Homo-oligomer: A and B are copies of this chain.
Amino acid sequence: MSPFSHVGIFTKPNDIRVDNTLHQLHEFLLQRGFQVFCDQNAGLILGLPAMPADALARNIDLAIVVGGDGTLLGTGRLLAPYEVPIVGINLGRLGFLVDVSPDEMTAQLEHILKGQYKEEPRFVLHAEVVRDDEIIGEGDALNDVVLHVRNEIRMIEFTTWVDGHFVNTQRADGLIITTPTGSTAYALSSGGPIMHPALQALALVPICPHTLSDRPLVISNQSAVEIQLCEQRDVPARLSFDGQNNIGLESGDRIRIHTRPEKVRLLHPQSYDYYHILRAKLHWGVQL
């Protein structure tokens, strides 16, 4: 008996590499008697009717994502409020989040669908932008919320508070507020630390800061972070969620960030080992 019955298939648009895997996955699920639902992209490829994202989220008890880490980020943000568990199938290249390879897919799913898996919760950030006491935009992020300069190579200036305490005013290309999940993504390129996925922490990682002692700061994920763009400097800035959605910012805007109560529920094969993926992705076996 499977703990799951209604399975949603999610994939990325316009990538012919997923076709075979998708057909194989679909057939596999049908044969085992699961009810299968498709998102827009999967529906197009499989020639099946697709269900709008919100309806999908409410109607499935398992999501299978075929694609890269980026594809899973989008699905994760969508499903977090519903706490639908997610399995990630990659396109032949291991991802931090999509850790099942196409050629092991059926063998691994056989186990997972029977309830033999490791469940790993990943927390999600919520950020809202306040202008003149009104929320003018908001969004979720599984990797990171990034405040960054737009277009120009002029630095932006902003002030940060944590739990109401003034931290600093800095000038930089931007600031990454990253979860442990995002710590191996953009934040790592900006000098941030790797954080184990189970750590209940956020890192605030400045991007190319003017002051050389402006170093990454790790705080509890239960802390409330607030950032304000300085009024005086009129440099165009933007807030990005997982590098996928954006909100345009104006000087004086305030950004409020907190951790959502619901989690993204990643399901892994029982052989899953975070450090194995870390070694593979960072080429730690490789010596200079």
- A residues sitting closer than 8 Å to B (CB atoms) are 146, 148, 150-154, 162, 165-168, 170-173, 183-184, 186, 188-196, 198-199, 201, 203, 207-220, 223, 238, 240, 243, 273-275, 278-279, 281-284, 286-288
Q: Could you say which residues of chain B place their CB within 8 Å of the CB of A162?
A: 196, 275
CB distance from A165 to the nearest CB of B (A): 5
16 A-B pairs in the complex with CB atoms less than 8 angstroms apart: A165-B274, A167-B278, A173-B173, A193-B215, A193-B217, A194-B215, A199-B218, A199-B220, A210-B288, A211-B288, A212-B212, A212-B288, A213-B213, A213-B288, A282-B288, A286-B286
Contact A153/B243 with A170-B284, A287-B171, A288-B282 known, Cβ cut-off 8 Å: yes
CB distance from A272 to the nearest CB of B (A): 11
Chain B, Cβ-Cβ closest to A183 = B218
Contact A168/B284 with A186-B153, A218-B194, A218-B218 known, Cβ cut-off 8 Å: yes
| Copies in the assembly, this chain | 4
CB distance from A137 to the nearest CB of B (A): 16
Q: Could you say which residues of chain B place their CB within 8 Å of the CB of A213?
A: 212-213, 282-284, 288
Q: Decide if A201 touches B199 in the complex (CB within 8 Å).
A: yes
Q: Decide if B151 touches A212 in the complex (CB within 8 Å).
A: no
Give Cα A243–Cα B195 distance, bound, in whole angstroms: 25
CB distance from A199 to the nearest CB of B (A): 6
Q: Decide if B194 touches A216 in the complex (CB within 8 Å).
A: yes
Q: Could you say which residues of chain B place their CB within 8 Å of the CB of A238?
A: 151
Q: Could you say which residues of chain B place their CB within 8 Å of the CB of A214?
A: 282, 284
Q: Decide if A168 touches B279 in the complex (CB within 8 Å).
A: yes
Q: Decide if A188 touches B201 in the complex (CB within 8 Å).
A: no
Q: Could you say which residues of chain B place their CB within 8 Å of the CB of A219?
A: 195-196, 199
Q: Decide if B193 touches A275 in the complex (CB within 8 Å).
A: no
CB distance from A130 to the nearest CB of B (A): 22
Q: Could you say which residues of chain B place their CB within 8 Å of the CB of A216?
A: 193-194
Q: Decide if A211 touches B275 in the complex (CB within 8 Å).
A: no
CB distance from A259 to the nearest CB of B (A): 14
Q: Could you say which residues of chain B place their CB within 8 Å of the CB of A150?
A: 151
Q: Could you say which residues of chain B place their CB within 8 Å of the CB of A287?
A: 171, 210-211
Q: Decide if B196 touches A208 in the complex (CB within 8 Å).
A: no
Q: Decide if B190 touches A193 in the complex (CB within 8 Å).
A: no
Q: Could you say which residues of chain B place their CB within 8 Å of the CB of A146?
A: 153
Closest 9 CB pairs of A and B: A193-B216, A189-B208, A213-B282, A212-B213, A193-B193, A195-B218, A168-B284, A196-B219, A194-B217
